[in-house]
Structure 1
Amino acid sequence: MVDTGISSENVSRTMGREAQRNNILAAKIVADIVKTTLGPKGMDKMLVDSEGNITVTNDGVTILEEMEIDHPAAKMMVEIAKTQEKEVGDGTTTVALLAGKLLENAEGLLEKKIHPTLIVEGYRLASEKAERILDEISIAVNSREVLKNIAMTAMTGKGAEGNKEKLAELVVEAIDQIADGNKVSSDDIKIERIVGDSVKDSELVKGIVLNKGRVNKEMPLTIVNAKILLVDFPLEVRSPEMDTKISISSPQQMEAFIQSEEIYLKEMVDKVAETGANVVFCQKGIDDLAQYYLAKKGIFACRRVNKSDMEKLARATSGKIISNLNDVSTEQLGMAGEVEEVARGDDSLVYVRKCNNPKAVTLILKGGTQHLVDEIERAVKDGIGDVVAAVKSGKVVCGGGAVEMELVRRLKHFARSLGGKVQLAVEEFANALESIPETLAENAGLDPIDVLTELRKRHEAGAVREGLNLFNNKIEDTFQAGIIEPIKVKTQAISSASEAAMLILRIDDVLISKSKGEDKKVREMIE
């Protein structure tokens, strides 16, 4: 810590080699936290928040998000994990581990008096070369079985392990349904969770399931051949937009005022009925009297359906969301074979199913406890993210550390074509990639040195697809073994990790402003 002499006493400053060392240490600590969760034999973490809520998971981004991290460099590690989750949905542990290893290796170069700018240049060249190599060694997606293997690989080692085949089949079937060629979005898959049944009872509904019930118990429980009206305005008497005072001087005027409201609501329901709709989903509220009139006409209605669910209902039923009842026509109604309310304990679910070629579907995930269902959801989201990424790019790579070992071999060959100290940085970048198969072996209880030695030998011999199959603890062709990952997981992880490492390496001065009461906390954080 250095006193600048020109800034407020409420500003702490760390500079030069000390600033770099502190930032690198923070990043390494974050990487070490998630390191043991990598791979099918990775361990879980138990996270307990300030209110005593417990989360048991080995999902990298969940662990990092739940931790209350203060250090600025450590926060960057959390950000790259969030970016990986947002862009792909999987590979969050890999990106944090890789960034930590890149910085650890850079520290060795800094100790040899190699300037950070040269290290950054080497890392940039290596990252660009790695992405080109990945494209060269990628494999085209040519079957549904490959997609199923991708989903199973993503879910391996998580709470879904025992039922990964069933869940992978559901994930691939869901994406098959919503995909339009290579255009597909994970936003079109809704996930509903049910606590109490077995994981193997999870199902895919080709339509939408809402955690709602009918607004009135006199409405029918089931509607067959449903004609669905989707509205984003309230089925209520409109309130004036400004403060309004109504003066009533006699009981007759009061009665007339009440009757005018009833007439308005009845006319509104009559308009709904005239469209031929027998199901209404409303984004806003539905007046009690309107509920009564809808029930009398045998119309099934739900209120306060959130906007994202309304959009999914439109995609599933081919309906249009209406903003004005006067514009409603039969062509704008959605269609479904069946709409049904199903009671589950004190709650109800509304199933909109048997839709004709729905472009939005629902995965219902079941499990014996809330913790299990939460972990199943995280695993399934990883699977969905990976399969979507594979469908979009049409390319996959071998898992089990095979792709990393091939990158290491080719990057080291590339480094030899470079001159000067940049060559050392490219070599350290390659060495950092070896941390992935090394950690996979370590977490499985294998000797990482033996595993790395054998992998190097096989890749030097041209066995590009050879990796570590932790289901039988053998080194073999991981593509044939069904251990497959989308290329996007690797390109995004390498890009994000190298960018974060380069950004942290370029920092040689850290100035932190604080309130007077935070002085001790900040000192502890950066020292």
Structure 2
Amino acid sequence: MNNSGLQGMLKDGYKHLSGLEEAVIKNIEACKALSQLTRTSLGPHGMNKMVINHLERLFVTSDAATILNELEVQHPAAKLVALAAKSQQEELGDGTNLVVSLAGELMSHADELIREGLHPSEIIEGYAKASEKVLQLLPTLVLPGSEKIDVKNETEVAAALKASVAAKQYGYEDLLAPLVAKACIEVCPPNPNNFNVDNVRVCKVTGGGIHQSAVVNGLVIKRDTEGTVKSATDAKVAVYADAVDTLSTETKGTVLIENAEQLETYSKSEEDKMEAYIKGIADAGAKVVVSGGSFGEMALHFIERYGLLAVKIVSKFELRRFCRATGAVGLVKAEPPSADELGYIKDIRVEEYGDTLVTVIRQDEKVSKIATLLLRASTDNMLDNIERALDDGVNSYKILTRDPRRLPAGGATELELARLLSEFGKKETGLDQYAVKKFATALEIVPRILCENAGMNPEQILPQLYTAHASGSATIGVDIEENGVKDLTPDGYSDLYDVKYWAIKLCVDAVVTVLRVDQIIMAKQAGGPKTANKPAMDED
């Protein structure tokens, strides 16, 4: 006999959660747990997380985007917040932690309102109204004159990128921000709106100190050349997408050798063809040969004979960048290149950093289309963290080329928004006014976390901030160095307008989507029962 209702409609083994306690509150708790995980990593004094992913790779980082990506969040509600953070990372490259932390705080306040008797729809309406008001207020907080930045001026750009780099590598921002600015400006096209973040590369070399990091106009390939020729200047370059080697036939064949003369001449024709191939490359004017595959022994023999420099680039993406940097055309046919298929390198040589040999390709500053940040540090983990900080800096430069407006840093923007929104909430009359006021309180999370992560007491600092902002000083933020409050703008710290705008927008969208869910229906998982992981066998 068939069961009626939902039980009769779905397959056996489904799960159905509904109502406030089972669906809404559990979703809120999952989002709060995700927020608690990343919020301690916010700001210059953010703590690191040690994450071991499914491939047993270790990550020690305070970068929220990396943490969320490697955690593989499974809960459907928490996944929505993680996806909002991912959208922020892909679109702007910074501000992911703000999305998750603010979402968790909004969820926490929604939990309180629900337990006090408000319906989720009233909370959603209040949050939507508050979000709209916040996005209207945000342009009024823009720092005067920040929209007039010259994106080709290294000093101005370095100052604008300082806060973004300091959030990941506090203490090194004065060293790293100018490096990022220099690299970005060198590859910035005449129309800055066409700036491509992929044109700024990073090469990490273990050993030495962070102060030995430098910018190279061109590419750095982390491997030695293939032959004995280690340098070339003002060289034309031929690029082959496939291996530079003798071609093997698709069908198998048998060769019958009847005498000593045939044995001697067996491979002669093959050698002659290979020599003609390499000689053709040299005659075309090329001094450098680049291969996307391997170099055969016979090919290397003739490359040495004709004094060519051979470079192997395994990654097809790196090969594409090499072609972009040199103006070469990647050839798929095993024949000498024509004049218009050759690229140009001003200087290529093998250099040693620590015990690592790297091939450095330098181009003229005026024609360089790719710049490489050569990073030095003592450990791989530190190199990875510096790379993430520089990645944020490069993305921030891209934002500057589109919208250079900046906001006060150190939690000053969020606190001023909280103060103005709180005043707006007092004028509201409906039940959604409680949600508006809670939204204002939630915005305090940024200065609060900055205080907590720096070992300061937020209960002492927040009243000082409110007093300063109420007296008209809207740029006063948390000063983590002096354990107090001050305007960080003269020190060169400011936040990007676009990052804040989209972080608030994406965060509220995710929160509202989660709060709209009142039922969760999960179908039975496909496949058999999930077996427990087998214990690792003892090694002999």
TM-score normalised per structure 2: 0.86
- Name the aligned partner's letter for residue 374 of structure 2: I
In structure 1, how many angstroms separate the alpha carbons of the residues matched to 2:444 and 2:163? 20
SS in 2 for 1:480: helix
Is structure 2 residue 461 aligned with structure 1 residue 451? yes
Note the C-alpha offset of 1:28: 0.4
Mapped contact 2:208–2:354 kept (Cα < 8 A): no
The one of 8, 17, 30 equivalent to 2:34 is 30
1:262-411 alignment runs, 5 A limit: 262-324=271-333, 328-343=337-352, 347-357=356-366, 358-411=368-421
The 1:327/1:496 distance shift into structure 2, 3 A limit, reads: farther
Structure 1, residues 193-236: CA drift from partner, whole Å, max 9, x if none? 111111111111111000122222x3x11112222223323323
Q: Which residue of 2 aligns with 1:120?
A: 124
Q: Could you tell me which residue of structure 1 aligns to residue 16 of structure 2?
A: 13
- The C-alpha deviation readout for 1:78-111, integer Å capped at 9, x for no partner, is 3333332222222222111011111112222323
- Which residue is equivalent to 1:500? 510
Q: State the number of aligned residues.
A: 514
**For residue 195 of structure 1, what is the aligned residue in structure 2?**
206
Secondary structure of the structure 1 residue equivalent to 2:172: helix
2-side partners of 1:129 and 1:239: how far apart?
A: 69
- Which one is further off, 112-121 or 196-205? 112-121
Q: How does 1:149-228 map to 2 (within 5 A)?
A: 149-156=159-166, 158=168, 160-180=169-189, 181-216=192-227, 218=228, 220-228=229-237
Is residue 2:152 matched to residue 1:142?
Answer: no
Provide the C-alpha distance between the structure 1 equivalents of 2:418 and 2:122, rounded to a whole number of angstroms. Answer: 20
**In 1: Cα distance, 2:273 partner to 2:128 partner:** 67
How far apart in 1 are the matches of 2:266 and 2:439?
A: 77
Shift in Å at residue 351 of structure 1?
Answer: 0.4
Q: Deviations over 1:279-335 (max 9, x none)?
A: 122223333222221221111111244222223223333334344566943344332
Q: Deviation of residue 418 (structure 1)?
A: 5.2
What's the % identity of the aligned pairs?
29
Q: 1:488 to 1:265 in 2, by over 3 A?
A: farther
The Cα shift of 1:35 comes to 1.6
- Contact map agreement 1:397 1:486 (CA 8 A) in 2: yes
> Match for residue 537 of structure 2?
none
- In structure 1, how many angstroms separate the alpha carbons of the residues matched to 2:137 and 2:156? 21
1:260-285 deviation line (CA, Å, top 9, x unaligned): 43333223222322221111222233
Partner of 1:474: 484
Q: Give, in angstroms, the shift of residue 4 of structure 1.
A: 4.8
Q: CA deviation at 1:39?
A: 1.5
AA at the equivalent of 2:46: G
Residue 431 (structure 1) aligns with? 441
Distance in 1, Cα, partners of 2:81 & 2:508: 11
Superposed, 1:97-108 pairs within 5 Å as 97-108=101-112
Q: Which residue number in structure 1 is paired with residue 255 of structure 2?
A: 248
**How far apart, CA to CA, are the structure 2 residues paired with 1:249 and 1:459?**
93
Displacement of 1:432 in angstroms is 1.6
Structure 1 residues 272 and 119: CA distance shift in structure 2, 3 A: farther
Distance (whole Å) between structure 2 residues aligned to residue 315 and residue 56 of structure 1:
34
Contact 2:103–2:511 at 8 Å: present in 1 too? yes
Q: What is the CA–CA distance in structure 2 between the aligned matches of 1:121 and 1:324, rounded to whole Å? A: 63
What amino acid sits opposite 2:223 in the alignment?
K
Quote the offset at 1:414 in angstroms: 4.4
* Selected match of 1:61 from 56, 59, 65: 65
Match of 1:95 in 2: 99
Superposition RMSD on alpha carbons, in Å? 2.9
Can you give the 5+ residue segments of structure 1 that lack an aligned partner in the other structure? 521-527
User: Structure 1 residues 476, 239: closer, same or farther in 2, change over 3 A?
Assistant: same
Determine helix, strand or coil for the equivalent of 1:173.
helix
Asked whether the 8 Å contact 1:30–1:74 carries over to 2, the reply is yes
Greater mean alpha carbon deviation, residues 80-89 or residues 413-422: 413-422
Unaligned ranges ≥5, structure 2: 533-540
| Per-residue CA distance 1:122-171 (angstroms, 9 max, x = gap) | 3334334433433343331525444323433223254x334321111111
Moved more, 321-330 or 397-406: 321-330
- In the TM superposition, what is the alpha-carbon distance from 1:173 to its structure 2 partner? 0.5
Matches of 1:121 and 1:57, distance apart in 2:
37
Contact 1:37 1:58 in 2 (8 A): yes
Instruction: Measure the CA separation in 2 of the matches of 1:360 and 1:188.
Output: 5
Task: Specify whether residues 517 and 325 from structure 1 end up closer, same or farther in structure 2 by C-alpha distance, changes over 3 A only.
Answer: closer
Structure 2 CA distance for aligned equivalents of residues 310 and 343 of structure 1: 22
Contact 2:235 2:346 (8 Å CA) reproduced:
yes
Over 3 Å counting, the alpha-carbon distance change for 1:16 and 1:319 in structure 2 is same
Q: Distance in 2 between matches of 1:67 and 1:444?
A: 26
Residues 359-416 of structure 1 show CA distances to partners (whole Å, capped at 9, x for unaligned) of: 2111111111222222222222222222332233222222111111222233344445
Structure 2 residue aligned with 1:524: none
Partners in 2 of 1:109 and 1:255 — Cα distance? Answer: 91
Amino acid aligned to 2:529: G
Which range moved further: 462-471 or 356-365? 462-471
Moved more, 74-83 or 494-503: 74-83
The 1-side partners of 2:356 and 2:46 are apart by: 36
Distance 2:155 2:100 in 1: 30
Q: Give the Å deviation of 1:52.
A: 6.5
Deviations 1:65-87 (A, max 9, x none): 33354322223333333332222
Query: Which amino acid is 1:189 matched to?
Result: V
Separation in 2 of the partners of 1:179 and 1:425?
A: 45
